[in-house]
A and B are shown apart, each in its own frame.
Chain A
Amino acid sequence: MKFRHYGIAATLASTLALANPAYAVTELQWWHAMTGGNNDIVNKLAEEFNASQPDYKVVPSFKGNYPDTMNAGIAAFRAGNAPHIIQVFEVGTATMMSATGAIKPVYQLMKDANEPFDPKAYLPAITGYYSTSKGDMLSFPFNSSSMVMWINKDELKKAGVAGIPKTWPEVFDAARKLKAAGHATCGFSNAWTTWANIEQFSAWHNVPIGTKANGLDGFDTVLNFNGPLQVRHLQNLVDMEKDKTYDYSGRGNASEARFASGECAIFLTSSGYYGTVKGTAKFDFTSAPMPYYPDAPGAPQNSIIGGASLWVMGGKKPDEYKGVAKFFTFLSDTNRQVYLHEESGYLPITKAAYEKTKADGFYQKNPVLETPLKELTNKEPTENSRGLRFGNMVQMRDIWAEEIEAALAGQKTAQAALDAAVARGNTMLRAFEKTAK
């Protein structure tokens, strides 16, 4: 009996030894939040990278939605076994960058690993969001999108709307016509209520969300998005909610189906919605830049990005960092970026990839995919439109949304709601500032 056990053990040991190639492969854990088609892309990227060189093996694992993935990373760090690379959504940026020691800034990583890295090769509208005010890149942009206005061309034509509306007054006008033509429950709407009506709206009109360049220049930023323009816009929405010329669609993007089902013919949401809408919409649709108020000076400015970036966790071995740096170089390759862009609808992160897609004539066939890029590069970004960085942003969005909901439900005026959103947000910012010191 005993001998047989030894025999099994020996067989196992030799099998294990065989499974290990002669050279040591360094495993790099990559935690991400990508589902569906984008999950396949993540796995394909890892496979291609692993096949392209013998020393490193990137192991992707899906960890749930964005907040889940970020929390899994935080919990793993506290337990001492953080992954090498973690995908964090844009609103988690302030939390990640304040965690000195828990993360390894990308510019530092590339320098230490002696990887060729030129920050100027990347699109500033995208990397600016993930860089310090000095321009040092902290995390590596992975999937980026922006907000666009999706248009149901068939329904607009039926309602007698000539051309695609460009300004907010034109949108309101079109919404009234749509409503009269049978869209009784929804003239127009939007997903991601705070991203649309506070964050993108402010950047697009070149008005501040907070001081210190919307928080990019320091955690002592103070919110001030209760200015006249933002209040005027929210009040317009409140007035139109009464008869459903505008109809609220919730905080996230669960109601995007209202566009694909034909209920809402004008709908503002992420450009990343392309992946879904191209398969579900049974009508002629397109995307257009977000509307603006023509009397607002400087509007339209430029939009800001959404999406997620890859953060490198701290406390790993130099050899492992070398592998991560090589992986980022691999991701930055122009052809690979072009492929990612055309396949997923997310934005290319390098200038070369954007130019190549343009030169290939891709946008002539798919103008929908160029809309967010045109918005992002519309003008040279200002203090108000480079991006935003507020601590506790995940929960802050919920608080802002609560106040917007209170206004839309008629419990408060637009001014009172935005004043409360600013005041409550500032309390959270001061609490964050204390922990981030």
Chain B
Amino acid sequence: MEKSVVFNGKLLPYLLLVPQLIITLVFFYWPASQAFWQSFLREDAFGLRSEFIGLENYQTLFAQPEYYKAMLTTLIFSTLVAVLSLAIALLFATQADKKLKAAAFYKTFMIWPYAVAPAVAGVLWIFMFHPSLGTLARPLRWMGFDWNPLLNGNHAMALVVMAAVWKQIAYNFLFFLAGLQSIPKSVLEAGAIDGAGPMRRFWTIVFPLLSPTTFFLLVVNIVYVFFDTFGIIDAVTEGGPAGATTTMVYKVYADGRLGGDLGSSAAQSVVLMAIVIALTAIQFRYVERKVQY
């Protein structure tokens, strides 16, 4: 006797998918479509008067020189944050992966910053680098370096990049460490027997074998810098000075929440969404080819 365990009927697979589909519809497609619709409206903050104005929100948006400036700022900010947080996390992960005393202790401490909310992370960095109150800014000034993120755009950018990188290193570290631990020791030993030094082993064995992790983290980090960093920017610089740290997502927040201009804010969200979808598609199309699973 052989028992057949094939489920007949077409309903069950869909039923099993329903919870996931509902979550995606309610938490992604519904708000996204709302934003899309809102971007064609002009509405006051209270929603008392609403008027369909077609593409006017987009036209006004693309006529603003500030919007192009925000795009450039976003490019600089996201490149710096993604590259630095990946590189530093990889360095830390390779060091923590070695045979160390109290390795678990280091690993735990490396992961902690991830539990800190972005706004709190921002406040911590303010306390350290506020030009006249900061504990680390005072020595800088004392050494004759005119540290002033309140007026110097580069200093402000450096500050938000540091805060955003610091916040993201923990997450990247965790994945890199897991990735490193899944690399078979035998491969590394074989390389060592063939006479490859540690650097060579890293670049020819470890790094290629880590590429699925790196690729995954690249996508996640891009999404992180594009969307999740406005809490840090809001707490540290409020987009200033003179708009030097106003990224696209911060502008969405500032125009919609502070300015009450929901139409423009929605139009910017749609643009931002398009950019991130395009970026992710490009990554999957071109970068993934080089990934060795």
Q: Using a CB–CB distance below 8 Å, which chain A residues touch chain B? A: 67, 71, 74, 77-78, 95, 98-102, 185-186, 241, 248-252, 254-255, 257-258, 261, 263, 392, 394-395, 398, 401-403, 405-406, 408-409, 411, 428, 431, 434-437
Contacts and interface: CB of A to CB of B under 8 A. Distances in A.
A99 B133 contact: no
B261 interface: yes
Interface of A is mostly: helix
Contacts of B152: 409
A26 B280 CA distance: 55
A248 B152 CA distance: 11
Interface of B: 42-49, 60, 126, 130, 132-133, 141, 150-153, 238-243, 254-255, 257-261
Contact of A403 (B126, B242, B254, B257): B242
23 contacts: A67-B257, A77-B47, A99-B45, A102-B46, A102-B48, A252-B238, A254-B130, A255-B130, A258-B132, A258-B133, A392-B261, A394-B259, A395-B255, A395-B259, A403-B242, A405-B150, A405-B240, A405-B242, A408-B151, A411-B242, A431-B60, A435-B44, A435-B49
Contacts, number: 91
A250 B129 CA distance: 14
A405 B150 CA distance: 8
A405 B47 contact: no
A401 B254 CA distance: 14
Contact of A437 (B43, B49, B242, B260): B49
Contacts of A78: 46-47
B150 A402 contact: no
Contact of B153 (A100, A255, A409): A409
A81 B120 CA distance: 31
Contact of A402 (B46, B48, B243, B255): B243
Contact of A251 (B47, B240, B255): B240
Contacts of A250: 150
Given A185-B141, A405-B151, A67 B258 contact: yes
Q: Which 4 A-B pairs have the closest CB atoms?
A: A395-B259, A405-B241, A406-B242, A435-B44
A71 B265 CA distance: 15
A98 B151 contact: no
A98 B46 CA distance: 10
B259 A392 contact: yes
A104 to B, nearest CB: 13
A394 B130 CA distance: 24
B167 to A, nearest CB: 21
B275 to A, nearest CB: 23
Given A251-B238, A403-B242, A409-B152, A394 B258 contact: yes
A423 to B, nearest CB: 11
B288 to A, nearest CB: 40
Contact of B240 (A185, A402, A411, A431): A402
B45 A95 contact: yes
A402 B132 contact: no
B134 to A, nearest CB: 11
Nearest to B49: A435
Contacts of A186: 132
Nearest to B246: A402
B242 A409 contact: yes
A7 to B, nearest CB: 37
B259 A248 contact: no
A252 B238 CA distance: 10
B242 A402 contact: yes
A255 B131 CA distance: 10
A98 B260 CA distance: 13
A98 B44 contact: yes
Contacts of B254: 395, 398
A99 B46 contact: yes
A95 B239 CA distance: 23
Nearest to B57: A431
B242 A255 contact: no
Nearest to B126: A254
Contacts of B150: 248-250, 405
A436 B242 contact: no
A409 B46 contact: no
Contacts of B257: 67, 71
Contacts of B153: 409
A395 B133 CA distance: 27
Given A95-B45, A251-B240, 12 more contacts: A99-B45, A100-B48, A249-B150, A254-B126, A394-B258, A398-B254, A402-B239, A402-B241, A402-B243, A405-B150, A409-B241, A435-B49
Nearest to B255: A395
Contacts of A428: 259
Contacts of B42: 434-435
A254 B133 CA distance: 10
Contacts of A99: 44-46, 48
Contacts of B46: 74, 77-78, 99, 102
A261 B133 contact: yes
A95 B44 CA distance: 9
Nearest to A407: B242
A398 B132 CA distance: 22
Contact of A248 (B151, B238, B260): B151
Nearest to B262: A435
Given A249-B150, A255-B132, A392 B48 contact: no
A398 B48 contact: no
A433 to B, nearest CB: 11
A249 B240 CA distance: 12
Contacts of A67: 257-258
A431 B255 CA distance: 12
Given A100-B48, A255-B132, A261-B133, A398 B258 contact: yes
A398 B49 contact: no
B156 to A, nearest CB: 10
A95 B242 contact: no
A397 B257 CA distance: 14
B138 to A, nearest CB: 10
